[in-house]
Amino acid sequence: MVIFHKASELQKNLSSSATSIGLVPTMGGLHIGHISLIQKAIKDNMRVIVSIYVNPTQFNQSEDLENYPMNIEKDLKILMPFKNNLILYIPNHQEIYPTGISSKKYDFGSLSVHMEGKVRPGHFDGVATIVEALFKKIKPDKAYFGEKDFQQLQIVRALNKMLNLGIEIIGCTTIRTSDGLALSSRNSLLSSKQIDNAKVVYEALKYINTKVSDWSIKEMKYYFKSKVEAHEDFKLEYFYVVNQCDLVPVSFLDPKKEYRVFIAVFAGKTRLIDNIKLFRI
């Protein structure tokens, strides 16, 4: 598997005949969700680049950064079946932040105000900083992101438009365990009991979707909170129903608009985030 630590060397390796370059940005801790993005990228492109970089500026707490599950040897083993189809880009801090580790400031309007933007100030500035760096260094034709981080996906789309980069941003369906838990690198920090109990998150979200025509948003939140917090050491951080286009929370549903439910739950010290599109049944 070809690995580059500098984008300048990576660019020299890219054939001028590569009519389509796909990028899958990751922070490592790879799992089946990442693999699904990679498989989609391989199907769509002549060359696929997977980046692995744990970006410090998108972490709000040093403890969260320190506890992030990093294991590059394990990641490389997971990627081995695709070794003939991938180029790995594994930069260091100096490569990404040559003048010092700090994020740029962006204005994404309502997209970055609520949910993760509210509880993690500066998070999306950090996300946008690393994504902008990757996009400009690698110059992909297409980039792949999971819908589990739907707010991040919308931020990336806005960034791409803001900078007029012309990259096709492809959102891919959230990959879940058989119990419905959205796959995340941080799931490795959960105990076996927490993993078992975490299935309540998706179960409750699915049930809420069956009650869209009957329940108010307050009733949806009350139900979700009571189901989740019935489990020991599970605590709801937020529950929002938002307009899908601008990610602004709403207090009632307009039948002409599309909505998503966004949630964040603490399982002990580990945060679980998820979202689903609301369908009128």
Tell which residue, 84, 87, 3, 91, has the closest CA to residue 54.
91
Give the DSSP letter string of 159-172.
HHHHTT---EEEEE
Residues 152 and 160 sit within 8 Å (Cβ to Cβ) = no
Four-CA torsion 66, 72, 78, 84, nearest 10 degrees: 140
State the Cα–Cα distance between residues 217 and 242, nearest whole angstrom.
10
Give the DSSP letter string of 58-107.
G-SSHHHHHHS---HHHHHHHHGGGTTTEEEE---HHHH-TT-S------
Instruction: Give, as one character, the DSSP assignment of residue 214.
Output: T
Tell which residue, 207, 208, 209, 183, has the closest CA to residue 195.
183
Cα–chain center distance at 230:
27
- 140 Cβ neighbours under 8 A, 6+ residues apart: 21, 22, 23, 49, 167
Q: Would you name the residues annotated as active-site residues?
A: 34
